[in-house]
Structures are given as C-alpha cells and as structure tokens.
C-alpha cells in the first residue's frame, strides 16, 4: 500500500493501492452509480432545454461518477477528480480493462467542465456539445457494463 506521511497530518492513503473492504466497495460504488445516473438524467434534460454548457458539465459528472464507481468497486479509495484520473490511468487503462483512450476522454471532459462552469468567454456550439456527450456516453456505457458484471446495483432506498 502506498502511504504518504507528513509530520502535520500523519499517514494517509494515496489512493493508488486498494484499501477498502468489500462491503465499503459495494456501498460506495452503488452510491457513485446512482450519482452517475442522476447527473446523466440532468444532462439529458439540459440538452432538451438547449442549455448546452450546463448539459456538458452534467454529462462530465455522469461519466466521472461511473469511472469512480468502477475504481471504488475495485477497492481504490479515490474521491477527488485528479486522483480518479491518476488511478484510472495507472491501474486500468494500461492493462486492457478499459479502452486506452479512457483517461484522455475523462481528462478532456474535466477540462470542458471547468470551462463550462468558470469561463464565461468560452464558446461551445450545440453540435460540439452533442458530439462530446456521445463520446462520454460510449465510455459510460462500457463502465456501466463493468459495474453490472461486478454486481454493483443502484440503491433501491433512494440514498
């Protein structure tokens, strides 16, 4: 296990080694799966409302939460976007479990999300948004299949 120690905060997990037990894995993965579905549903509504920047931002989160659910299911205690991208790149994309372009798609999605939410001068066309969302959907569909194969299901209690 990769441990980083500093005098001020003591040992902490770097996120690069599996650290969660199976019960924690399933619970957290199911919650991220639900968050992915909610974000994706919101993106679809926003596309129909022609709120393209917001739709692209929500679609990113639909993809991000699906990626994080897979990583968490495998035992990686990853929460922040940069660690999710790092673990995805180092532990999954290079071993053939995911398409090799998956980290680049997620990185681009993160950048576009930042531009959508924080850069008022950034112009994005509806066509570009729809094309990006289509790419995210392709990757997200693969991730959802991976989660289903690993027994991860959406929570039924609305949590």
H-assigned helices in 52-125: 52-73, 81-87, 102-118
- Alpha-carbon distance 142 to 135, whole Å? 11
Taking 50 as the pLDDT cut, the residues of the chain under it are: 1-12, 158-159
Domain 20-149 is of which CATH architecture?
Answer: Up-down Bundle (1.20)
Cα 63 to Cα 1, 3, 5, 84, 90, distances in angstroms: 27, 28, 32, 12, 18
Residue 4's pLDDT is 39
Q: What is the pLDDT of residue 9?
A: 44
d(CA 75, CA 152) in angstroms, rounded, equals 13
Q: How confident is the model at residue 17, as a pLDDT?
A: 73
pLDDT, residue 116, reads 93
């Amino acid at each position: 296990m990769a441990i980083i120690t500093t005098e001020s905060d003591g040992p902490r997990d770097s996120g690069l080694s599996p650290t969660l037990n199976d019960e924690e894995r399933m619970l957290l993965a199911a919650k991220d799966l639900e968050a992915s579905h909610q974000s994706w549903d919101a993106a679809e509504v926003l596309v129909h409302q022609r709120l393209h920047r917001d739709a692209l931002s929500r679609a990113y989160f639909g993809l991000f939460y699906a990626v994080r659910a897979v990583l968490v299911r495998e035992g990686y205690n990853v929460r922040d976007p940069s660690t999710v991208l790092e673990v995805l790149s180092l532990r999954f994309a290079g071993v053939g479990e995911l398409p090799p372009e998956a980290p680049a798609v997620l990185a681009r999605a993160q950048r576009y999300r930042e531009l959508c939410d924080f850069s008022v001068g950034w112009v994005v066309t509806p066509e570009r948004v729809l094309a990006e969302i289509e790419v995210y959907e392709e990757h997200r569909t693969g991730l959802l299949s991976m989660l289903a194969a690993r027994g991860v299901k959406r929570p039924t209690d609305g949590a």
